[in-house]
Amino acid sequence: MSATPATSSLPQENRLRSLVDFYVTTMRTAVQQQFQYRAATYMYLVGMVAEPVIYLVVWSTIADQSGGTVGGLSAGEFAAYYIVWTLVRTMNIVFTPYGWESRIREGELSGQLLRPLHPIHYDLAWFAGGKIPWVLFYLPIAVVLTLVFNPTFDVRPLEVVVFGVAVWGAYLIRTFNQTALGLICFWTTRVGALFQLYIALELLLSGRLVPLTLFPEWVQTVAWFLPFRWTFYFPIQTLVGDLTNAELLGGLAMQVFWTVVGIGVFSLVWRHAIKRYTAVGN
Amino acid sequence: MTTLRVALLHLRIGVMNDLQYRVNFALQVLQSALALATGLIVIALVYSHVAELNGWSQSELLAVLGTQILMGGVIRMLIQPNMMRLTEDVREGKLDHALTKPVDAQMLVSVREVQVWQAVDIVLGATVITVALVRLGGDLGVFDALAFAVALAFGAVMLYCFWLLLATGSFWIVSMWFLPELFEGVFQTGRWPVGIYPGWLRFGITFLVPIAFAVTVPAEAVTSRLEWQTLLLAAGFAAALFAFTRWFWRFGLRNYTGASA
């Protein structure tokens, strides 16, 4: 483009720079907030770790009982799965529909709509910033889990690189899906029921509850065609599983696909939703 | 006597307040049904790979799941709302108001809130236990049923104490928003008989967070595998924990300086 539109007050490159500035500042604020309440943050993470530890213990017991492996996985592989699971879960913390519920009910959104940036940028930046302290807090937990449960890892450098990309892909998919759900609050202020259904589906079909290979074949097929699998099972498998290069890249491609779908659905819902918004508060 | 009357009155007001919001009942039913479905799928998945888990058959594990759901309902209906209100009141300086009342403060902060619709989980849990018992042959002795009820009561007392100990912590640590998540996470360990966990964890969820007493022990009673010594231990531990909690609450109150004018 040779000329900027006359309506835009800022040249294109300055707009990009201020967007970057906004992200950096918001992320920094998030980091500081999380460190300020570090005891509370830590307790929250400990509560979250209980979930994988339970699954890990149950499935290791079953693997030991049935002669070393269950569904082709040994106790050590289950340990590796759930230790990486915890990191992926940490990276997958996003703004929930409950947040949208209170944001709309309490009129907080009115102020955010006045800003020149779409509110989604704030959520993306804030929760991206939160990842830094959360992952730091995760590290000692990972060390303890590793010492207690003896995971078996066999990781190639490329897998680490793909993992680094895939956790952010998962973050984007989950953010846009949950934001689209959250926007339903423009029609009803009780999004809880739908969100619970979403979480139940995610638990079963994402690999959050158990590695998907433990499910019957048809469940695995269904899961392949849904977004959930690409937010948990795929990132975990990049480190834990034995994926070929083609599978690694194919998985990333699926993540791009679901991110685009997520942005599409979100934009569509947003356009209709925002018309319905009548301000509460000031 | 006055104490009891005040407690009952508070509960009645809480119930009436919550009964206004009827849609919440439907939402609670849906939420409980989803949680139950997930739990059942996991159990089905486990037993598609093994015939028994650490000596527990599928129907016996169903009894554990039912007990955990029932106890979870009790906590979220009666205990957790009160304890979260206590931590919020401390933070916002409203607790002073409750402390000036001429009744026992510990009693008062324990009865001010009730979330009626959580009773759905109590009913659902009882139903799951019943189904498990029918599948197990249905010859539950009077003694087992009695032991179940007693073990459940001890378990509820212990979890109440545990919650109050944590909530009393808000006299020192003001930000306590994470408590429900933390407890919910740890309480999920109760879905499985405590015996499958490694020693350190078993100790933790027996004596630090008394989940084993609250879920596994009643489930043992209802599946006729409880030894009377365990029940005795539960009684002793419940009494000791209650006494300690009472002391800790008073200790916390002495350190509380108040936040309002």
Counted residue by residue, chain B has a size of 261
Query: How far apart are the C-alpha atoms of B40 and B194, rounded to whole Å?
Result: 18
Which residue from B111, B153, B156 is spatially nearest to B4, judged by alpha carbons? Answer: B111
The answer to whether the CB atoms of A40 and B45 lie below 8 A apart is no
- B231 close to B150: Cβ distance less than 8 angstroms: yes
The pTM assigned to this predicted structure is 0.86
Per-residue pLDDT reduced to its tens digit, B170-228: 888 877 888 888 888 889 999 999 888 888 889 988 988 899 999 999 999 988 888 88
Query: How far apart are the C-alpha atoms of A175 and A100, rounded to whole Å?
Result: 12
Partner residue facing A70 (CB), from B49, B181, B189 = B49
Per-residue pLDDT reduced to its tens digit, B216-234: 999 999 888 888 899 999 9
Instruction: Name residues whose C-beta falls within 8 Å of residue B14's C-beta, 6 or more positions apart in sequence.
Output: B111, B112, B113, B114, B116
- The per-residue pLDDT for B223 is 86
B219 sits in which H/E element: helix B217-222
Chain A from 184 to 223: CB within 8 A of any B CB: 190, 192-193, 196-197, 200, 203-204, 209-210, 214-215
- The per-residue pLDDT for B259 is 62
- The per-residue pLDDT for A5 is 44
Instruction: Name residues whose C-beta falls within 8 Å of residue A60's C-beta, 6 or more positions apart in sequence.
Output: A75, A78, A79, A149
In chain B, residues with a C-beta closer than 8 Å to the C-beta of A192 are: 27, 31
Mean pLDDT of the region B146-162: 94
Matching residue, tokens 């809130």? B113
> Best of B22, B28, B32, B41 to disrupt the A interface by mutation (most A CBs within 10 Å)?
B41
- The per-residue pLDDT for A176 is 95
- A81 close to A240: Cβ distance less than 8 angstroms: yes
- The per-residue pLDDT for B81 is 93
In chain A, residues with a C-beta closer than 8 Å to the C-beta of B195 are: none
Q: Is the pLDDT of residue B164 over 60?
A: yes
> pLDDT category, B252, cuts 50, 70, 90?
very high
Residue of chain A with shortest Cα separation from B28? A193
Per-residue pLDDT reduced to its tens digit, B56-88: 999 999 999 999 999 999 999 999 999 999 999
- The per-residue pLDDT for A43 is 81
DSSP codes joined into one string, A76-142? HHHHHHHHHHHHHHHHT----HHHHHHHHHTTHHHHHHHSSS-HHHHHHHHHHHHHHHHHHHHHHHH
Share of chain A above pLDDT 70, in %: 94
Query: How far apart are the C-alpha atoms of B221 and B223, rounded to whole Å?
Result: 5
Matching residue, tokens 């087992």? B144
Amino acid at A232: F
Tokens of A191: 């999004």
Alpha helices per DSSP H over B93-206? 95-99, 105-111, 119-135, 142-168, 179-187, 199-203
Radius of gyration of chain B (CA): 19
- The per-residue pLDDT for A36 is 82
- The per-residue pLDDT for A121 is 92
Tokens of B157: 């007392």
Residue of chain B with shortest Cα separation from A54? B189
Query: How far apart are the C-alpha atoms of A248 and A237, rounded to whole Å?
Result: 9
> pLDDT category, B260, cuts 50, 70, 90?
low
Helices A119-149 and A12-36: angle between axes, nearest 10 degrees: 40
- Grouping H, G, I as helix, E, B as strand and the rest as coil, residue A167 is helix
The list of chain A residues with pLDDT below 70 reads 1-12, 189, 279-282
- A97 close to A178: Cβ distance less than 8 angstroms: yes
> pLDDT category, B144, cuts 50, 70, 90?
confident
The partner residues of B53 in beta bridges, in order of sequence, read: B56
- The per-residue pLDDT for B83 is 94
- Grouping H, G, I as helix, E, B as strand and the rest as coil, residue A7 is coil
In chain A, residues with a C-beta closer than 8 Å to the C-beta of B175 are: 37, 39-40
Counted residue by residue, chain A has a size of 282
Matching residue, tokens 């849990």? B125
